[in-house]
Amino acid sequence: MEMVLLLVVLGGLVAVAVFTGQTAKKRQAARAAAELEPVKRLAEEDVTALGVELQDLDIDMAGRELGTGENADYQRALDAYESAKTAAARMSRPDDVRHVTEILEDGRYAMACVRARVDGQPLPTRRPPCFFDPRHGMSVVDVAYTPPGGAQRDVPACQLDAERVRAGAEPDIRKVLVGSRRVPYWQGGRAYQPYAQGYFGGFGPMDWMFMGMLFSGGFDGLGEGIGAMGEGLGDMFGGIGDGIGGLFDGFDF
């Protein structure tokens, strides 16, 4: 009798563990889908912006004779646009956006090379995009910036945003919707980290970019992750406890 009871208890524990594990996986999948949608939309907007810039470049180059180098860089920019568009359409998780923004960053540099070659200028030094909005293109200078509630730090900026910051004005910041609030993309939480890593990851250690510049958003994202983990563990152990209690209902020891 005792052996039978033990087997019943063990079987019940396994069944509860399997059920709660499946429930946790479903919650994780739903959370991942909710995180993917806004990040994917952000990537698609950036791809569209690059397409507009390519149209402007095409207009500027109309009637001008392009040499081998100009044509090679131009084709590289066109290929980047098509590759980024395909990669954005195939995104299945937020981390996939890093590949999209890596391609976009390379495409914009190729466009800068086209313009430099046509103007008879040296190829530009490759710099990270504008921190405030990567769609502004390659940065031209690092500028000291103090975010609300944060510490001052040097960030790469385009010419217009650098002038705004130096004048004490608000830079043109790329904002995303988190809940009911619009916040700078670097405060959007963990889902937006790969987005910026693709743009800035090739320009030195990530410490200066993310550990320093995800002022509060990075830690908000970490808190969300810990909270989600706690929820899952609570569900699992709570379910096991309920299952054990149910198994012993009706037995009087």
Per-residue pLDDT tens digits for 141-197: 999 999 887 788 899 999 999 999 999 999 999 999 988 899 999 888 888 999 999
Give residue 16's pLDDT band: very low, low, confident or very high (50, 70, 90). low
- Check residue 183 and give its pLDDT: 93
Residue 250 has pLDDT above 60, yes or no: no
Q: How far apart are CA 101 and CA 159, in angstroms?
A: 21
Examine the pLDDT at 229 and tell me if it is beyond 50. Answer: no
Please say if the pLDDT value at position 18 is more than 60. yes
3-state helix, strand, coil in the chain (%, to 5): 70, 10, 25
DSSP string, 87-156: HHHT--SGGGHHHHHHHHHHHHHHHHHHHHHHTTPPPPPP-PBPSS-GGG-B--EEEEE--TTS--EEEE
For the ranges 50-59, 118-127, 193-202, 203-212, the lowest mean pLDDT is seen at 203-212
- Under 8 Å between Cβ of 68 and 10: no
pLDDT-derived band of residue 69, with 50, 70 and 90 as boundaries? very high
Question: In the predicted model, is pLDDT for residue 242 greater than 80?
Answer: no
Average pLDDT over residues 127-134: 95
Q: Which residues contact 122 (CB under 8 A, 6 or more apart)?
A: 116
Q: Is the pLDDT of residue 211 over 60?
A: no
Average pLDDT, rounded, for the chain: 80
State the pLDDT at residue 9.
64
Residue 8, pLDDT > 70, answer no
Q: What is the pTM of this model?
A: 0.72
Q: Identify whether the C-beta of residue 152 lies closer than 8 Å to the C-beta of residue 146.
A: yes
Confidence of residue 89 (pLDDT cuts 50, 70, 90): very high
